[in-house]
Each structure stands twice: as structure tokens, then as C-alpha cells.
């Protein structure tokens, strides 16, 4: 069954020839200006799409979101900014709103200008009446090297309101505030300031906990729009539904990492505080040695110990740390040869869990990533050629 956008949203998805014959122009429009929130990359080589959207979200409202895929429009100087503004102006004219009500995101190769002749033709072809409601078409329209489109939905308890989210991203993923490109839509009615606070909390627990290759993109954008068409909702129920959608998308992104074959989930608990737990977990999931061990189904717990220790926290005592693969403890109580063989079988599965207890506090964090394969090297070695 096709996933539809929540009430109050319509979409237009098309191919305008940015790079190839797949869809590359995605527009989602709210029936009226509505509450909105967004978080963006902290990369200093930021793209103009991020610059423009940050400015347009200053009052936490928006009317529309446009995404151009297969061209990041980054590092193109003043012309890149002018081109991004021309896209926003063209969308605003087509749907009948002010330019500052339109948000924009771009994804693809860095350093190549927009093919503006094709984009102008695409803007001119936006229908007078936008009627699409297919959220899966929206998810497919923002793909670049993704092998599958990424979509999730959840109902908000206590009523008929929904949350629907889409995401793209398989490489250059190490969020430092937001991540990749993700758009979420809800028909719940929520005040802009409340939406912003909830969205940031959810992003920090989900998208900010995923990593594929430790590289923070120049174009990371996470946005939510709330049409209000379903009326007011309980804020706790809304946050729970939003977290469900964001967590699903986070795992989908990690599982579809470039060349990935295995989803890695790392939990660090009994830590001094949440910041330490998350930092240590990221150190593990980002370690090339851990990633390749998972890819080779090698339960080499020494690599996990290394990744914990290199954080260099003086309150982490190696004699107190416990390391597990799945539910099997491997340090300090080590397993015999037959136990290692069983762990190797476990690591050949689609999901591998690494669980580390620091035993210096009560905080915890969970992060997600993927194994490192020769496929990742091949994809990125040949990316622009």
C-alpha cells in the first residue's frame, strides 16, 4: 500500500534532467503557511541551499520544500547562491507565496553548477494545481546513490494525526547537528516554538547518532513541516511518533550505507554522562578496524577495546569495562574457540550489536552505522568518473 502525505500537503515530483533520467525535482507544498523547524550541517563549506533555508526558517514557519537531487550546488561562489535563490523564487511564483516561505535542499556532486536552463524549464512546468499525495514518490525523487528509497510513518496516539518522513543518504554521513537530507511532515497542529524544541530533541537521539564514513556533508538538512490539518495533539504522543519515524529512517540510512552489507548497532551504557556514552559509541562504530571486522565476521573484541581507549577519558578504567557482541560477553570474561565460532556465525547476519558497559556512571547512548566493504571503496573511487 502506498504511503500518502499527511493532510494539508501536496507534492510534485519530476525529472528535469539534472543528471540522468531519474526523478530529480521534488516539491512538497502545504495548503498554507505552517509551523516548521530545521537543523543543518555544521560543515564550514556549506552549500547555498543550507544558507537560504536557514534564513527562511528564522521565524519557524514555511509553506513549501523543494529538493534538487544529483547536484549539491556547493562551492560555486556567488553564482551558486544566485541560482539557489532563483529556484526558490521560481517555486514561490508557481505556488503563489513569498520566496521566504520556500525551503530548499540540494544533494549530489560538489563543485558543479546547476544546469539552470533545465531547471528553469522544470520550474516553468510546475502544474498550476498540485495534487500529488504519494510520499513514496517524494522519497524516490530525492535519491542519489541510495539503493532503495527511505520512508516511514506513524500515527499519533489519541487521534487521527500522522507523521510521515523520507530521507536520502548513503555516503558522506557523519552528522554534526543534522544529517543528509530528511523531510518530515505532520498534520498535527503544533506551535512553532514547541515543534522546534521537539524536533531538535528527536534529531539528537536519532539522526545525530548515525554514521557511515565519518564525513559531515556540506548539505545536511533535516526539516519538519506541520500543517495543523488534523488539529491539536498531545505533545508527548507527537514526540513519540516523531521519534518512531526518525529512528526508522536512521536505521534505513545506516543499513543502506554505500557498499554496506551489515547494520551495526553500538550501545554504550553505565557511562559518566550521555555525552561520554555517545562519543565512545561513535568511536566504536566509526572505527575502520571495527567496521572491517564486522564485514569479515571476525569477533575481534580487541578492536572495540582500542576504540574505547582512544577516547582517552581518564575515568574509563579498562578493568571495569565489559564488552559484548550481541549478548555474549567477550571481555573481560573471554570465550573459547567454539564460542568465537558461534560469534562469527552471529556476525554473518544482517545486524550486529556491540554492547559496551563503562561502569563509571548511569548514562547510555545507542548509535548506528554499517560495515566497511570493498563496495564502498569502489563506489567512491569512481564517483565522478
Active site residues: 179
Backbone angles phi, psi at 328, to 5 degrees: -90, 120
Place of cell 533545465: 118
- Between CA 216 and CA 159 the distance in angstroms is 38
Q: Hey, what's the cell of 306?
A: 582500542
> If we measure between CA atoms, which residue out of 57, 172, 152 comes closest to residue 104?
57
- Between CA 91 and CA 287 the distance in angstroms is 43
Amino acid at each position: 500500500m502506498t504511503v500518502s502525505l499527511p493532510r494539508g500537503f501536496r507534492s510534485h515530483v519530476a525529472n528535469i534532467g539534472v543528471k540522468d533520467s531519474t526523478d530529480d525535482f521534488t516539491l512538497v507544498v502545504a495548503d498554507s503557511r505552517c509551523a516548521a523547524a530545521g537543523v543543518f550541517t555544521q560543515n564550514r563549506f556549506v552549500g547555498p541551499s543550507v544558507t537560504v533555508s536557514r534564513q527562511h526558517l528564522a521565524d519557524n514557519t514555511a509553506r513549501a520544500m523543494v529538493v534538487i537531487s544529483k547536484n549539491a550546488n556547493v562551492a560555486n561562489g556567488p553564482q551558486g547562491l544566485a541560482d539557489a535563490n532563483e529556484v526558490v523564487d521560481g517555486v514561490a511564483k508557481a505556488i503563489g507565496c513569498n520566496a521566504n516561505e520556500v525551503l530548499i535542499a540540494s544533494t549530489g556532486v560538489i563543485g558543479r553548477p546547476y544546469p539552470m536552463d533545465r531547471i528553469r524549464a522544470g520550474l516553468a512546468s510546475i502544474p498550476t494545481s498540485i495534487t500529488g499525495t504519494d510520499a513514496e514518490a517524494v522519497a524516490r525523487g530525492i535519491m542519489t546513490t541510495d539503493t532503495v528509497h527511505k520512508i516511514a510513518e506513524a500515527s499519533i496516539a489519541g487521534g487521527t494525526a500522522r507523521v510521515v518522513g523520507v530521507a536520502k543518504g548513503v555516503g558522506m554521513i557523519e552528522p554534526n547537528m543534522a544529517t543528509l537530507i530528511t523531510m518530515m511532515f505532520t498534520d498535527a497542529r503544533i506551535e512553532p516554538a514547541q515543534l522546534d524544541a521537539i524536533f531538535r530533541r528527536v534529531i539528537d537521539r536519532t539522526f545525530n547518532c548515525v554514521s557511515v564514513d565519518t564525513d559531515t556533508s556540506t548539505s545536511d538538512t533535516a526539516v519538519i513541516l506541520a500543517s495543523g490539518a488534523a488539529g491539536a495533539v498531545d505533545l508527548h504522543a507527537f514526540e513519540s511518533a516523531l521519534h518512531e519515524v526518525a529512528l526508522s529512517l536512521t536505521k534505513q540510512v545506516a543499513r543502506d550505507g554505500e557498499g554496506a552489507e551489515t547494520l551495526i548497532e553500538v550501545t554504550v551504557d553505565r557511562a559518566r554522562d550521555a555525552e561520554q556514552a555517545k562519543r565512545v559509541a561513535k568511536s566504536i562504530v566509526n572505527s575502520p578496524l571495527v567496521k572491517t571486522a564486522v564485514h569479515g565476521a571476525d569477533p575481534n573484541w580487541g578492536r572495540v577495546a582500542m576504540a574505547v581507549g582512544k577516547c582517552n577519558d581518564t575515568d574509563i578504567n579498562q578493568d571495569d569495562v565489559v564488552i559484548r557482541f550481541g549478548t555474549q560477553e567477550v571481555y573481560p570474561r573471554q570465550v573459547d574457540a567454539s564460542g568465537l565460532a558461534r560469534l562469527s556465525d552471529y556476525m554473518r547476519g544482517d545486524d550486529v550489536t556491540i554492547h559496551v558497559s563503562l561502569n563509571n556512571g548511569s548514562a547510555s547512548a545507542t548509535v548506528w552505522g554499517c560495515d566497511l566493504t570493498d563496495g564502498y571503496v569502489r563506489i567512491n573511487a569512481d564517483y565522478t568518473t
